[in-house]
Structures are given as C-alpha cells and as structure tokens.
Structure 1
Amino acid sequence: MPAAITAIGVHLPDRVLTNDDLTREFPEWTIEKIAGKTGIDSRHIAGDDEYTSDLAIGAVRALEQQHGVDLSTIDHLIVCTQTPDHLMPGVSSIVHGAAGLPSSCGTVDLALGCSGFVHGLGLASALLDAGQAARVLLVTADTYSRLLNPADRGVRTIFGDAATATLLEPAAQGRGAHAFVYGSEGAGAGALCVPRGGLRSGGLPMAAAPEQRGLRESRFDLYMDGPAVFDFTLRVVPPAVEQVLIKAQVERGAIDTWVFHQANRFMLGHLRRKLGIPEDRFLIDLADVGNTVSSTIPIVLARALGRGELTSGSRSMLLGFGVGLAWAGAVMAW
C-alpha cells in the first residue's frame, strides 16, 4: 500500500537575503556571477528569534489552513531536520505539542539532509503499508543559515531556510510512491559537515576547520568541499536513476516529470544533460528560495501541483542526494 501525497504546505521565513545584499558584503562577486553560478536570486533566512520548530509549525499551519487538513486525524509525525532547536527534545515533539496533534500520534526525528524527503517518504510508505498508520505527516524543516560562517561566501550564496508539511495517505491501486532506492557513501561524509557545535571535538577532515579556510571561527562553520560533492553527485545519480527505473519496471520515456534535489542550477544542468532528460520535463525551481536542503523537492512539488503540472496518471522521478553522503530515489504515480 504505497503512500499518496494528498497535500503539501510550505512555509518560508519573512526575511529575504538577495544577491544584491550579498554583493554589498562581497564586492568581488557581482549579482550576475552569483545568479549565473547558482541559479539563485534570493533566499529566505530565519529571523533572529526564529528556529527550526517555528518554521515546521508554520508549514503545518499552512497545510491545515490552505488544504483543510484535520490534524486530529494524524497517526504519525515524521520531522526531517539537521538543525534541531535542542539536543533534546526532538523537533517532532515540539511540533506535536504546538500543533495540538493527538496523543495517539507517534513522533520521530529524521536527521537527514538533501535526501531526507525521499527517505521520509519511504518511511511513511512503510508505516502505511504495515497498517501502523493511516495518515502520516512528513515535515521537512531546516535553518541552515545558522550553521554558515558569515565570511564563507561559497555557502551563503546557496542555502536558504524553509519548511514543508506533506500529508501522506494510502494510495489507490497503481498510484503513490514506489520503487524506492537508497544508498550511502559514509566514508565521504566529511565533504559536507559542521565541524563545530557537537559533543565530539575532531574526527572530521582538517580542511573543515575554519582556520584552515582562512575564516574567523563562528559558532558552527559549515564546511562544503564543492568539487567532492559535485563529483559524488555526477557519479551516483545516473546509476541510481537506472535502479529506480528497473525497480519500477518503466522506461525512461514513461517519466513525465523529473524532480531532483535543488542543489544549484549548475549541478542540475549537468545532471539533466548527462541523463539526456528533456528540459521541459526537468523541473528547476530554486531562484527565489535557494537550496533548502530536505525541503527542496516538496517545494518544487507543491508549486508544480499548484500550477496543475502533476496530473492524474502521470509519473514523477524523485531523487535526493547530498549530505551524508547519501541518496534516495523513488517514482511517484499521481
């Protein structure tokens, strides 16, 4: 019994960081250069007193108010985040209480990044298929802006903050998410990491230390080895696509829309050309939000659904890849 996406709520913080703002901080980078490399014009940034649970609750409220979802009917809540408010309790517990979900609703936090939405979709499908839940709420929420060193222009141009809330229910025959494929290369996890702020000191690549990057230490100082992440993506995504197609028993031409993690336009363009996917079937929608980590795929889906582009009977390939280094793919039959 696969999971069907019934509705998606999206919440973006009010504060906006534009390329014009960034060029004032980094005069050597023009607005055109930033947009040309990333495909991003602006990104939403959490306010000083706004944390991951606040964004998550905003997305749940958007789902409730815009789609008329009755939160008292939710059986299980999954919150995917890598920027929790606290070490404990989990963000799912905070969201559960603030949203007034029933005491019979299970909660779990999923500490995944760019592949998190598809991983969460797979977990929700398993809960539905096993009869452990009838309605699952999958929330993605991150405030990556709090992890970035203010002087690290490479990551500040890319990441934005956002949250989504997706209602998942049992799918009708021949519909829903299926053909899940997962993968990990944990040996490369240091290519995208946060060297500060955890319980353990050290254990990550020396290059991740801010002083090694010519930066004054901030609180967390997220590190990204861009070339390593790019090479990883180009190497693992094409075979992952083939594995999903084989598992789904469909030809590439039977996929109507391709929705990949919205890392940046440059990377997505390389992937599209390497896979030979027609441009009109390959959805890119990050110009005004940036890379929102686990929220990129559901934001694209929510906007495409709003435009009527995901019609009944069509199929989408969903593929997340990045932090971990991990990836996850599936087919969604609408």
Structure 2
Amino acid sequence: MGCKIAAIEYCFPEKRVTNEDLQREFPHYDFMNFEKKVGIYSRYIVQDTETGLDLAYNASLKLFEKGVDKNSIDYILYCTQSPEYFLPTTACILQDKLGLSKGIGAFDFNLGCSGYTYGLSLGKALIESKQAKNVLLITAETYSKLIYKGDRTNRSIFGDAATATLIVESEENNIKEFAFGTDGSGYDKLIVKNGASKYKYDNNCLVKEYGTKNKYTDNHLYMNGPEVFNFTSGVIPSFTKEILAKNSIDKEDISQYIFHQANAFMLNFMRKRLKIEKENFYINLKDGGNTVSNTIPIALKQYSQNINIPEDIILIGFGVGLSWSGGLIKINNPL
C-alpha cells in the first residue's frame, strides 16, 4: 500500500500588483530588465485584514468543491511562516473553520521554500505508517506583511498565496523517495530578526540599507540575495543527483523537474549546470512571483493540466533555514 497526490488547488489574494505599479513607487529602477531577468511581472498581496488562514480556507473550499469529501480528511499538515498567532497552531483553527471532524490530527510546521516537499514526505509517512488515510497538506504565506515598504527588491520578488493538496492512501506508490538537507549556519541569510522570543518588536527600529538602495528594518524581512544564490547554486545541483540516485532513476527518464520558483535567473543557472533541456524544466512565475512554500504546488497544478500519460517528476524546494528537500513523484492525470 502506498499513497499519491489526488488533487491540488491554490488561492491568490484579489489585490494584484504589477511591475508598472511598482515602477511608479520606484521610478529610478528598470523593471523591464527585472522582468526579463527574474521572470516576474505581477504578484498578489493580501489586504491589511486578510491573513494566510483566509487564503488557506479558500484553497481548501476549492478542493471540496471538486468533490473531495471533507469528512474523509483525517490529518491536517499546515506549512506556514505566516501564522495567525504565536499560539495556538493555525491548523487547529482551520479544522474548526472548515467544519472537519474533531477526531483528526493537526499541526503547523515552520518552513519556507522547502516546506511543500517536507509536507509531502510527512504525509507519505503518516499514510504508510497507517496513522492516516487522507491528509490535507496546506501551504500558506503572506510575506507581504513582513516586507518594509521601501524594500524594492523583496517587494518585487515575493507574493502571497495558499495551496491545499490532498494526499491519499492508494494501491499505487506514486510518492517515492525523498531526501533532505539543512545548514543552520546560514539562518541569518533570510530572516525577520525582531518580534519573536529573542528580540522584541521595536517600534523605534532604525531603517537600514542593503544592496542598491533597498531599505529594511530588523522588524522586517531581510534577504542576503548573493549568499542565498551561492548556497542554492552550490548545493542543489548535486542534491538533484542524490535524489535521482536514491530513486534509482536516470536524469533522462524524468519528464519534468519542478524546483521552487525562486526566480528565473537562478532556475536557469541550475538547469544549465544540470544539463537539463528547457522543455523538461518548469519555470512559470510571471504571474504570482515567489510565493515561498506555495510555488511548487502551484507549478505542479499548472503543469499537470497537460498530463495525459504517467509522468515521473522531480520536486525540489530550497531556501530559508537554510533548508532544502526534494523527491520523486509520479502523476497520472491532471490534478
């Protein structure tokens, strides 16, 4: 007995911010070149009163509208770095909001761009150990709430979204072997320093500059782009080969490689290093941008719409932590 991905749905906020919108705020930056290099034209941003839970709720409703029986859900895995509260766990709130059974498991896990692949592995483990049969894997992020208004780079890259994935017990074993990596020495390369236990939120926090006139404070998201690029380009190509070896499959037998949709420049760099053809390497972040833990399920959903034969797909996430994970899945039909 194995497991498979039965369905995926995603939800963007209504508010759409284009490069033209940002150009008016940052008139001295070349957004045409940005779009060509990074591959992002628009992103979606929550309203002040809107949260990741709202997006997760709507994504889940889309699953149920497809015919998924909500009474069959026996576990919620909720991946987020945008929780409703420090406590309680947002997964518990979602259980009640969706009207799911009280006899289910539910917990949050705090991971960013590697979160979806971690979640698939956790769902697989719950099902194969017979602790669950139908797992609802949620990813939900509202990084826009963490970005300083003067931070042109991060406002250009990141967008908000949520996804809902149904992982089910199956006679098919379509979620294969996964691998993981962690380098906590790079924890400060992507960080919101203030607001949790170590450093309190500072109402008088100084505004700092980084890169080319980007501004941020320690209350907001900071990303060391060059260091994140160095980490990714140094680790992920060899990690991809590790996943192939772990699953005893050749590179040429993979129908599609779907990596975390960080930015087109980084993805193309890794594609070329791995010597993968363009048609076998998915890049589609023009509308939506980098939605952190949501990028892989959104890309997988979009790509799967054209599937009419079984395909082997490599999924790899990487980022904040520093953390990376990935594995092999098989998809037989549109999700």
User: SS in structure 2 opposite 1:167?
Assistant: strand
Query: Counterpart of 1:198 in structure 2: which amino acid?
Result: A
Identical positions, percent:
40
Note the C-alpha offset of 1:128: 0.3
User: SS in structure 1 opposite 2:64?
Assistant: helix
Question: C-alpha separation between the residues in 1 aligned to 2:44 and 2:37?
Answer: 19
TM-score, reference length from structure 1: 0.94
Question: C-alpha separation between the residues in 2 aligned to 1:121 and 1:113?
Answer: 14
Show the counterpart of 1:239.
238
Show the counterpart of 1:134.
133
Contact 2:209 / 2:216 at 8 angstroms: preserved in 1? no
Structure 2 spans left out of the alignment, 5+ residues: none
Distance 1:27 1:12, change over 3 A: same
Contact 1:210 / 1:221 at 8 angstroms: preserved in 2? no
Question: C-alpha separation between the residues in 2 aligned to 1:222 and 1:37?
Answer: 22
Show the counterpart of 2:267.
268
TM-score, reference length from structure 2: 0.93
Question: C-alpha separation between the residues in 2 aligned to 1:323 and 1:171?
Answer: 33
Note the C-alpha offset of 1:3: 2.9
Contact 2:151 / 2:215 at 8 angstroms: preserved in 1? no
Query: Counterpart of 1:316 in structure 2: which amino acid?
Result: I
User: SS in structure 2 opposite 1:121?
Assistant: helix
Show the counterpart of 1:314.
311
Bigger mean CA offset, 192-201 vs 72-81: 192-201
More strand, by proportion: 2
Question: C-alpha separation between the residues in 1 aligned to 2:35 and 2:215?
Answer: 26
1:19 has 2:16 as partner: no
Distance 1:251 1:97, change over 3 A: same
Note the C-alpha offset of 1:209: 7.5
1:98 has 2:109 as partner: no
The correspondence of residues 168-183 of structure 1 with structure 2, limited to 5 A, is 168-173=167-172, 175-183=173-181
User: SS in structure 2 opposite 1:262?
Assistant: coil
Distance 1:293 1:178, change over 3 A: same
Note the C-alpha offset of 1:51: 0.5
Query: Counterpart of 2:208 in structure 1: which amino acid?
Result: E
Question: C-alpha separation between the residues in 2 aligned to 1:31 and 1:211?
Answer: 23
Query: Counterpart of 1:59 in structure 2: which amino acid?
Result: A
Q: Give the aligned length.
A: 325
Structure 1 spans left out of the alignment, 5+ residues: 203-207
Note the C-alpha offset of 1:30: 2.7
1:107 has 2:106 as partner: yes
Note the C-alpha offset of 1:217: 6.2
Note the C-alpha offset of 1:221: 1.3
Question: C-alpha separation between the residues in 2 aligned to 1:35 and 1:56?
Answer: 28
Contact 1:75 / 1:106 at 8 angstroms: preserved in 2? yes
Show the counterpart of 2:228.
229
